[in-house]
Amino acid sequence: MADSSKEEFVQLIKRFGAYLTIKMSNLFTTSLHHRSSRSVGALVGFAIAIVFIWRLLRTSTGHQRRQRKRQAPTPSGSSINTQSNAVMLSSGLSSSSEDSKAQNVIDEFFQPIKPTVGQLVRQKLSDGRKITCRLLGVIIEESSPEELQKHATVRSSVLEVLLEITKFCDIYLMERILDDESGHIIYGREYLQEKVLLALDNAGIFTSGGLVKDKVLFCSTEIGRSSFVRQLEPDWHIDTNPEIISQLARFIKYQLHISASRPERTASNVFSSTSLEQFFG
């Protein structure tokens, strides 16, 4: 009986050791590539978990040993067999329960930590430090200059991502405003620009300090927006117009095409997403 329990305990330790070996290897590999306070904290937590699990297993094993010492022999052969079977069943259930507890403790400790929005932004943008981004259909709900004449509504779902980008990158927002000579203009050009800036200001986009009003640019044609991007030479450009995305593919390191239809990639440096916030997870 003692040999059987001992063998089960040894097998548990072996499984535990193999599991920790894999986890330790992954943890140190991650730490070597990303040396940060989070990695140091993970290593400290890992050491604490090892001590905790070792004490848990030690306590459970000592409890099993004391239970076996308290068991008294009986004169009847049938009784011995009955008690022996009951002890074996109890030992098996106890071993299985301890194995499950240990595994649950390990799994709980090594649960993947959900990255923050800021971490996702840095990860996705890689080494990008300058970004140009269209307003309509990306930051603002309205999708055309004609709609912009009636109202300008900042998309609330994009605010968190945008504010994180402003902390990490030099970002320029740009949009086309209908020219007075187009025949479709209702309000003056300056009025429309002020309306857009006011909507951005009310949404708190200028409060973080990473984006100022001077970095919100306006033009009267799509070619004008493309020219802005070429002059600024960003690492990333974000747009909804597939023609502009195609034209700039040769000149801009990375581009993000925002489209509800999720089009196929036209170039290796062009990514697509249904929204800016969706791209950052």
pLDDT score of 162 more than 80: yes
Strand partners, 236: 131, 254
3-class secondary-structure state, position 280: coil
Residues 37 and 143 in one domain: no
Residues 165 and 274 in one domain: yes
- Its domain, for residue 182, covers 117-279
Residue 34's pLDDT band (cuts 50, 70, 90): very low
The DSSP letter of residue 182 is: G
For residue 155, which of 177, 134, 140 has the smallest C-alpha distance? 140
Residues 36 and 141 in one domain: no
The DSSP letter of residue 253 is: S
H helix count then E strand count, the chain: 10, 6
pLDDT, position 53:
61
Residues 103 and 121 in one domain: no
Query: Can you give the CATH number for the domain in which 257 is found?
Result: 3.40.50.1000
Distance, in Å, from the CA atom of 65 to the CA atom of 268, rounded to the nearest integer, reads: 64
* pTM for this prediction: 0.61
| Domain limit, last residue, from 90, 109, 128 | 109
Instruction: Please name the amino acid found at residue 180.
Output: D
Residues 147 and 171 in one domain: yes
Residues 98 and 23 in one domain: yes
Domain count, the chain: 2
Greater confidence, 32 or 257?
A: 257
Residue 115's pLDDT band (cuts 50, 70, 90): confident
Q: What's the pLDDT tens digit per position in 255-270?
A: 999 998 877 777 899 9
